[in-house]
């Protein structure tokens, strides 16, 4: 009798120890959780490089800027996410506005030029991309190109251009337009866009349409063209890029963001990932990899028009108003 009680107690404590250990292992195996709304290839290249250098494991979940921003707000403190990475800043502004980010470590902020991060220090730029007019070079010569993105509202451009209005990339551009020119001008431009442009699902699809001669041009981000050129070039062989420059709304440079969730139970590891991405190794992934996005700390891929030559308009990335953008685009019949 005594013996069997002792055995039961031993077995129970063994069981408890095993349960505890497997709980700890499950957490170790998952490491930190990243909600990655950046392009999958770039997100994975960053995470793999980080794990290789630091030994910190990372689980990546895939989604889009808007989807993850809304999810994080809904999950609140119960979110399993430790880090959020985006393609554009409006999604960061949404999550920051909900008070969900922890302050970014000073060492990380110090690596990033002030123009690529918000003054509040609760998230940071991690990469950048520029707006371009991807045009059919078999149809348009330089003198026939729009001088400003705003020119595409002219009736002369009816049926001749396209974009991907439902995507976070394009909506960030509209956010910049709104900040630069105000609500009335933006709303008028969007209404003209509805009249003049063809909607495509994604920047790649819009570029393909230009390449196939469906439309003469499309407002997209630069790296879709460079990415295709680096592969077979089959979707961009008739396409060239026009940079508006001149601080035009069409020269908008969008900042991709990274932030650590306040609710993360792995603050140290999560902060380490942001530090790594904005540091030498993470920025080298942008310079040497196949994302063709701009580095914001250090040199970019030498094939790209240098960031400083883009003559981008001054836009405050942390206050791009995605809610107002959706409202205006819906009113214009674009969403």
| Site size toward Fe ion, by CB under 5 A | 1
Q: How far apart are the first and last CA of the chain?
A: 75
Q: Minimal distance in Å, beta carbon 23 to Fe ion? A: 38
Query: Using CB under 5 A as the criterion, what x/- string covers residues 159-188 for binding Fe ion?
Result: ----------x-------------------
Query: Using CB under 5 A as the criterion, what x/- string covers residues 120-159 for binding Fe ion?
Result: ----------------------------------------
Nearest-5° angle of CA 212, CA 250, CA 279? 100
Q: Minimal distance in Å, beta carbon 186 to Fe ion? A: 22
The CA-atom distances, in angstroms, between 236 and each of 251, 252, 298, 306 are: 21, 22, 28, 21
Closer residue to Fe ion (CB): 169 or 269 = 169
110-116's contacts with Cβ under 8 Å and 24+ in sequence apart are 111/275, 111/278, 111/279, 111/297, 112/278, 112/296, 112/297, 113/296, 113/297, 116/255, 116/296, 116/297, 116/317
According to DSSP, the β-strands at 217-221 and 253-260 are: unpaired
Closer residue to Fe ion (CB): 164 or 271 = 164
Q: By CB under 5 A, what part of segment 40-79 binds Fe ion? A: none
Q: Minimal distance in Å, beta carbon 191 to Fe ion? A: 25
Q: Minimal distance in Å, beta carbon 227 to Fe ion? A: 10
Closer residue to Fe ion (CB): 100 or 220 = 220
Cβ-contact 45, 286 below 8 angstroms: no
Closer residue to Fe ion (CB): 87 or 216 = 87
Q: Minimal distance in Å, beta carbon 223 to Fe ion? A: 7
Q: What is the binding site for Fe ion (CB under 5 A)? A: 169
């Amino acid at each position: 009798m005594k013996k069997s009680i002792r055995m039961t107690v031993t077995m129970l404590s063994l069981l408890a120890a095993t349960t505890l250990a497997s709980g700890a292992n499950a957490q170790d195996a998952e490491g930190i959780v990243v909600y990655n709304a950046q392009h999958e290839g770039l997100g994975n290249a960053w995470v793999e490089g980080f794990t290789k250098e630091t030994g910190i494991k990372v689980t990546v979940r895939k989604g889009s800027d808007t989807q993850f921003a809304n999810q994080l707000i809904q999950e609140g403190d119960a979110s399993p996410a430790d880090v959020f990475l985006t393609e554009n800043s409006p999604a960061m502004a949404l999550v920051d506005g909900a008070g969900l980010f922890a302050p970014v470590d000073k060492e990380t902020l110090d690596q990033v030029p002030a123009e690529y991060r918000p003054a509040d220090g609760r998230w940071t730029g991690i990469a950048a991309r520029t707006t371009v007019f991807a045009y059919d070079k078999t149809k348009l010569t330089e003198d026939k190109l729009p001088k400003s993105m705003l020119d595409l509202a002219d009736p002369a451009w009816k049926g001749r251009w396209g974009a991907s209005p439902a995507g976070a990339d394009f909506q960030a551009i509209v956010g910049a337009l709104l900040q630069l020119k105000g609500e009335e001008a933006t709303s008028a431009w969007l209404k003209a866009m509805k009249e003049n442009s063809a909607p495509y699902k994604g920047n790649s699809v819009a570029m393909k349409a230009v390449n196939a001669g469906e439309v003469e041009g499309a407002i997209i981000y630069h790296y879709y063209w460079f990415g295709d050129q680096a592969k077979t070039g089959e979707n961009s062989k008739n396409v060239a890029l026009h940079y508006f420059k001149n601080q035009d709304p069409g020269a908008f440079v969008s900042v991709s963001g990274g932030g650590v969730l306040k609710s993360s139970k792995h603050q140290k590891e999560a902060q380490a990932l942001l530090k790594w991405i904005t540091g030498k190794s993470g920025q080298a992934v942008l310079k040497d990899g196949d994302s063709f996005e701009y580095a914001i700390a250090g040199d970019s891929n030498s094939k790209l028009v240098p960031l400083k030559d883009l003559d981008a308009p001054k836009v405050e990335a942390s206050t791009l108003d995605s809610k107002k953008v959706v409202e205006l685009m819906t009113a214009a019949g674009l969403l």
